[in-house]
Amino acid sequence: MSKKYLIRAGVSPFDHFDAGEMITKNSIGSNVGNLVYAYSIFRTLMTDEVEIEPDYYQINVADANRINENYDAYIIPLADAFRENFIPKLRAYTQLINKLKIPVYVIGVGLSRPFEPNLDEKNDFDKDVIAFVKAVLKRSSIIGVRGQITADYLTKLGFKEEIDHTVIGCPSMYMNGPKLDVRSTNLTSEAVVAINSSPKSPKNVRDFIEKSRHEFDEHYFIPQWLKELRMTWLGENPLKKIELYPSKTSHQLYQEDRVRYFLDVPSWLNFLGKMDFSFGTRLHGNVAAILAGTPSLIIPKDARMRELADYHQMPSLFASEINANTSILEVMQTKDFSTLQQVDERNFNHFISFLEKNNISHIYGANTTNREVALDIRIKGLPIRGPIESFQIASEKEKITRWKNFQADTVLQFNKQIKELQTKNKKLKTELDVLKKKNDFQRRTLNRKAVRASLKFADFFSMSKK
């Protein structure tokens, strides 16, 4: 019996949006790293009997009936959704889920907190998190959280670990099955390396990354923000100037064509598979390297990254360990890159157990070795594309074409939004008209009742005087 799942994702592995479309639609959810764990879930859950469609990040309680009628389950993979600026969306999900009759599976969710979180302090959004978790648990057996910090947080809110929630890490780490096959490395200055970074990293970390890249003649920077896609594709400078970070297209990395921005997971993994090493502060930038078999070093900047690095035993370097004399080549000599393999099979088996507790079918049966599966077969016929060419080195004709296409995409997106608002406004006007009619009816009825009551009271008063 075939099934159809709806999944929270901005793009399907079978969509082929160009950069302009992805900018106007924000298909990456503001960070291209979101593509990695969504792609992993597509691969793990898509069997010959299961079809998966993205919701393109649409959250609308009015869609509840349509979702109930057309899908067998709603898959919701989340990152650090327990945070202030995501709460409006979390509330919208809660309202929608409470209207759904199909199973709803949260495959990963995390708490956003500083590197050393204080779980005893109250958060303004605690009640919203409780409402969301309760709504999900009505539609599934157990929720998967990304790490122990998030698990402890939910426990403090009154939910039971291993009954209501369980730590599954990041589903992207299970994209290739139970074993992570990461090459060994003997890093030298002749290595070809991939670098990732974040403007939100501490200054000493940004300084370390900037200094470290100069230790390798051949190095590439892989940005992830939506604003950095605009920089790479359109040559814009939407970021504020940030010290020790390539926040402008005038930066050496852009000018020397050392920036690589990817719009899909296969091309990202293919590129990283050719690197000798990857390092930086981006979680999925380094997860992608691991999936490609390339050794990586992650520098966690907050509790969200820290709990995942701990759970998966990812080789890490903390900001507190970095000083002005720290050398990436020396750090590499002290790190054990086999720690991943010490826990990968255990974590994978627990993830599969989580799926099966929720009665979610998957591609892994008795034989869990890597093999070609439904998703792999379907993407074979799709065009292969690499990183987008940086605007700084594109021809004048290409630059003009990009801007024309982007403007056309923007107009289409604006027209779509206008139609959606007009439809919503029409619906609201209809609802308002209905409410007005009901109000008029009640007012007239009330007036008639008030008149009758007054007459009865007058009659009674008149009779009592006689």
What are 33-66's pLDDT values in tens digits? 999 999 999 999 999 999 999 999 999 999 999 9
Do 200 and 168 belong together in one domain? no
For residue 359, being part of any structural domain is answered with yes
Give the CA radius of gyration of the chain.
27
For residue 450, being part of any structural domain is answered with no
State the pLDDT at residue 197. 97
Do 22 and 115 belong together in one domain? yes
For residue 407, being part of any structural domain is answered with no
For residue 313, being part of any structural domain is answered with yes
Angle in degrees, CA 429, 434, 437, rounded to 5: 125
Collapsing DSSP states into helix, strand and coil, what is residue 107?
Answer: strand
Do 244 and 121 belong together in one domain? no
Do 243 and 324 belong together in one domain? yes
Segment 123-153, tens digit of pLDDT: 999 999 999 999 999 999 999 999 999 999 9
Specify whether the CB–CB gap between 390 and 259 falls below 8 A. yes
Which two tokens mark 181? Answer: 């096959």
For residue 166, being part of any structural domain is answered with yes
Instruction: Label residue 400 exposed, middle or buried (CB < 10 Å: 0-12, 13-18, 19+).
Output: exposed
Asked whether the predicted pLDDT for residue 452 surpasses 70, the reply is: no
For residue 427, being part of any structural domain is answered with no
Specify whether the CB–CB gap between 210 and 185 falls below 8 A. no
Asked whether the predicted pLDDT for residue 458 surpasses 70, the reply is: no
Instruction: Label residue 390 exposed, middle or buried (CB < 10 Å: 0-12, 13-18, 19+).
Output: buried
Segment 293-326, tens digit of pLDDT: 999 999 999 999 999 999 999 999 999 999 999 9
Among 324, 342, 360, residue at a domain's last position = 342
Quickly count: other Cβ atoms within 10 Å of residue 280's Cβ: 26
State the pLDDT at residue 444. 66
The stretch 426-433 carries a mean pLDDT of 72
Do 159 and 220 belong together in one domain? no
Tokens 């209207």 map to which residue?
99
Quickly count: other Cβ atoms within 10 Å of residue 9's Cβ: 26
For residue 419, being part of any structural domain is answered with no
Do 364 and 337 belong together in one domain? no
User: 399: left (phi > 0), else alpha (psi -120 to 50), else beta?
Assistant: alpha
Do 207 and 106 belong together in one domain? no
Do 358 and 245 belong together in one domain? no
Element (H, E) at 153: helix 148-156
Give which of 57, 38, 50, 72 is closest to 140, Cα–Cα.
72
Do 348 and 329 belong together in one domain? no
State the pLDDT at residue 71. 98
Collapsing DSSP states into helix, strand and coil, what is residue 242?
Answer: coil
Domain residues for 202? 192-342
Q: Categorize the per-residue pLDDT at 414 as very low, low, confident or very high, splitting at 50, 70 and 90.
A: confident
Do 226 and 319 belong together in one domain? yes
| E strand segments, 316-414 | none
Among 386, 414, 441, residue at a domain's last position = 386
Give first-to-last CA distance, the chain, whole Å: 84
For residue 396, being part of any structural domain is answered with no
CATH code for the domain in which residue 320 is found: 3.40.50
State the pLDDT at residue 465. 52
Among 314, 342, 370, residue at a domain's last position = 342
For the chain, the domain total comes to 2
Specify whether the CB–CB gap between 314 and 290 falls below 8 A. yes
259: CB partners within 8 A, 6+ apart: 220, 221, 222, 223, 232, 246, 253, 390
Do 121 and 206 belong together in one domain? no
Do 204 and 286 belong together in one domain? yes
The stretch 193-198 carries a mean pLDDT of 98
Specify whether the CB–CB gap between 144 and 109 falls below 8 A. yes
